[in-house]
Amino acid sequence: MRLALPVLALLALAPCGACSRAPSTTSGAQDGGTMVSSSESSHDFGTVTEGDNPKHTFVLTNAGPNTIVLDRVQPASSYVKAELRSPQIPSGKKAELDVTLQTLGHPGDQDKLITVGSSDPSVAPTKLRVHAKVEPLLAIQEEEEDEESEDMLLGASATREVWITGKKVDEAHFAIDKVTNPDVSAEMFTKPEGDAVRHGIRLIVRGKALGHFHCGVHVRTGIDAKPMLKHYFEWSVEGNLKVSPISLHFETGGAAAPEERVVELKSRLDGFEVKAAKCDSAVFKVTVHRSASPKTWEVRVRVADPQALAKIQVARIEITTNDPAQPMVVEQITVAPKRN
């Protein structure tokens, strides 16, 4: 009767080029350690469908003079299983290692390294590889230009489309299940393409507030093996106003008086104005100036009381504008000793 015992399977990503089939491989300790050889160093499952669990058996041979025990058990991947039918291998004898690739939820190119080892330090590890191209049952595919986060203006809206692909796409019945951000709406749509029909998700994003945002869209499929698809994306909403720099810093302890700092406010709006600017600390003097550049203003900040500068660490400037979306801009000031 054969005994089944899992062995050490240390699994890691391996380059595609390393998956070529070799007639044999031998691993051995550098100082005359016991060697374990395999009739092949890798196996390519080829193209499989997501949900398949392809299996391959590697044959290991004890090429050393003594009986060895391959008894390490430490799988590093939850979806590649390695099982040695007999952990004890006499000299010159063979043992079979069954490797199964579980593909559900793991579409795309898969390259995995399997290391078979022993608690005996004289037995060198044996490295094997499996490779497969896993075709998805269903997947969401973005256009290349839509893969990165998008920027949009406050008050604007943007539409993006993503496509559903996979071997089960014609059998599925798609429906929007959930949209996680209230500023996003989603709808399913189809598009004829030759004799086929493409299925897509149309996303409408509204820039209602300034900041960086995330959203998830969940789609029911009607396919038992893959009942839900989830798509996540992000975007930023910018206002009409660009402020540079975003904060000011002053140093204490220098021989010379601290120099002036300038905050530039540049707007997309015609008729943009900075109405006022004030600091919450009397240490600083703040003045407002119209820049020579169009739609641009400057807020200049100088130290009014150099002796008191070392007594504070932070201050705050409030800048009032006529931009309805950004009527007030807050600029932070930090103070620290000068570095030698």
pTM here is 0.64
Band the pLDDT of 257: cuts 50, 70, 90. Answer: low
Q: Which two tokens stand for residue 129?
A: 């590889």
- Rounded CA-CA distance 258/306 in Å is 8
Which residue has 């641009």 as its token pair? 296
Radius of gyration of the chain, Cα coordinates, nearest whole angstrom: 32
Give the integer Cα–Cα distance in Å for 32 and 124: 10
| Angle in degrees, CA 92, 98, 104, rounded to 5 | 160
Stronger pLDDT, 229 or 257, i.e. the higher one:
229
Mean pLDDT of 142-158: 74
Write the DSSP assignment of 166-206 as a string of letters: STTTTT---EEEEES-TTEEEEEEEEEETTEEEEEEEEEEE
Name the least confident of 220-229, 310-319, 321-330, 331-340.
Answer: 331-340
Predicted confidence (pLDDT) per residue in 77-134, tens digit: 778 898 989 899 999 999 999 999 999 989 999 999 888 888 888 888 888 999 999 9
Q: What is the pLDDT of residues 56-92, one digit of tens each?
A: 999 989 988 889 898 874 555 778 898 989 899 999 9
Q: Is the pLDDT assigned to residue 6 strictly greater than 70? A: no
pLDDT at residue 148, as a whole number: 54
Task: Show Cβ contacts of residue 333 under 8 Å, excluding neighbours closer than 6 positions.
Answer: 247, 248, 249, 250, 279, 281, 284, 301, 314, 315, 316, 317
Residue 149 confidence class, pLDDT cut points 50, 70, 90: low
Are the CB atoms for 267 and 288 separated by under 8 Å?
no
* Greatest Cα pair distance in the chain: 91
Per the DSSP assignment, residues forming a β-bridge with 159 are 204
pLDDT of residue 5: 41
What is the reported pLDDT for 243? 94
Give all domains of the chain, ordered by start, each with its CATH number: 5-135 (2.60.40.10), 139-238 (2.60.40.10), 241-337 (2.60.40.10)
- The C-alpha torsion from 126 through 132 and 136 to 140, rounded to 10°, is 80
276: left (phi > 0), else alpha (psi -120 to 50), else beta? Answer: beta
pLDDT band at 248 (very low <50, low <70, confident <90, very high): very high
Report the percent of the chain where pLDDT is more than 70.
85
For 326, the 3-state DSSP assignment is coil
